[in-house]
Chains A and B, each alone.
Chain A
Amino acid sequence: MKSDAFLDITDVVCPITFVKTKVALEDLDDGQILELRLNDGEPVQNVPRSLKDEGHKVLTLEDNGDGTFTLWIEKAGLS
């Protein structure tokens, strides 16, 4: 899937995972897509939910098979 920006948050833990994702989305325009690499476990459980809470659209989640996932998010909302 085509994306407008890429962010790797596998090197940080909660809540910096969400903080970095949120700030990366702020730099995009509505409708643009962020490609996010994140760890299995707590990040993959919580980050997509927090993004939905802020009105963003979670498009696809792919298991990379190495303990990480790739998430595509479409920026939406007022932020």
Chain B
Amino acid sequence: MSAEQNLTRDLDQIEGRAGTMLQGVESRAAFMAAGFRALPLLAAVPAAFVVAQLMRWAVGGEPALLPLPFVLLLSLLAPGIPAARAAATARARRISRSRALAEADRQLDLADRLVTADEFLRHGARTGFQQAAVEDAARRSEAAAGAALEAPEAAIAGSRRLPAWGALSLLLLALSAWVSTFEPRHVGGGGLTETAAAEAGEPLDEEAAEDAVTAEERAAPAPPEAVPTERRAQDPAEAKRSESGEDVDDSVKESSGRTGAGRSSGALSSSAASESRSAPSTQGQSSKPAERDKKKRESKKKKERKTGEQPTPERRPEDEQSGATAGKGSSKGSNRNPTASEWQSKDQVTEVDDQEVEDDEDTDEDEEEQENRGGVQPSLRDRRPPVSRDLQIGFGNRPNPDANGRGGPSEQKKSRGVASLVLGVPVPDRVKGRPGPGPTKITQERIEPQAEEAGALVASARAARSRPVPALSSVELGPQLRELVRAYFLARRAAAPPAAAPPARKPQ
């Protein structure tokens, strides 16, 4: 077997070993990289589980959905699945021969000898240096084929995030465990607020009713039959509810709605303070037309229909009942439209200004109109004259009555200061010195010309030339042109005045 065949065999063997090793490295690197990329799933699974638990608990179910170890297992599996898939893909990818040999070159410190020899072996005709390179590689390939190759460490980004995501996952698992300890919630027709109100509502209603009665008796003498009528109207309803097994929340709500429409708005409210606030309205407002309440009720119903809230069958008769008592209520002083809404009841007990009540009605109508127009328009309830932002003092001698000098909604400025710019640099009133003469000054003086003696040069004979005279460039004039030039200069000499001495400059 020749040296080249041995080299080829060794290269094949090295390629196989290095390729397998690199495949394993790449598979591990892909697994880790994909796993680190999918780290958020480590926390996403417990987070979703906690949300599901809370939702189930909110609807009254048992919050413990799954055993905690099972959730932990799911959390670990979630990032593991994409990581395993990436690893399998990397494992299936083939490592090129040149890369495998290059890795062997690098690990065995062969300075690309194996890759180069592999390339030169494919050449048909090799130069001397190429052949020498092949033989050089052949001498080392046998040792290289037997040398062990180590799997290089792959640097994987994102490993630093592992503790953070792990901690978050554990935190969510702990939260899940805590949520699992929640008692199943008893849920009826109303919400949380209504449940809370139901727990504390019954005794408060009775006390409030008593207080309201006394307050009304103090404030304005009511018809003696009003309270018994009310109680009579209320008692059958309560009896009916108790019979039908309805929740207490509804009774509170219904009673509130009724009281809102009735003659004593605070009679059955749960707040004593609001009751006391509602008393003056009884005095101040004598009555309101029943048509207005009716219109308002209709608008409320429309809104409910629009928002998709279907009134419960239990509420509808109560609303009607409230509406029936609206007339009575208005005669007692409250012009509010009784509704079964919790927010409306709140308004009823906290706001006493009748003007604002009217505004509320107007606003409701406005909102309805705005919705019909397709958008919410700016509220023009508080139409006030715009604040003058005029900073001027006035026009001429006349003061400007609208200007407050502040440029905004505030009080009249107390001090206006100095209305002109004051220099911060003191400027002297008098400047010492005199005006400069200017950049240039031209003075013309008439000076008589003075004759000067010109030093005459002594003529001397020139030395003989040491070299022949080179050809001088001169303009050769023709006979006619030469005559013309001579005539020109003679004419100029004849026409010129006798030559005068040049004017001498006066010494400066």
Partners in one complex: no
A residues with a Cβ closer than 8 A to B are none
B residues with a Cβ closer than 8 A to A are none
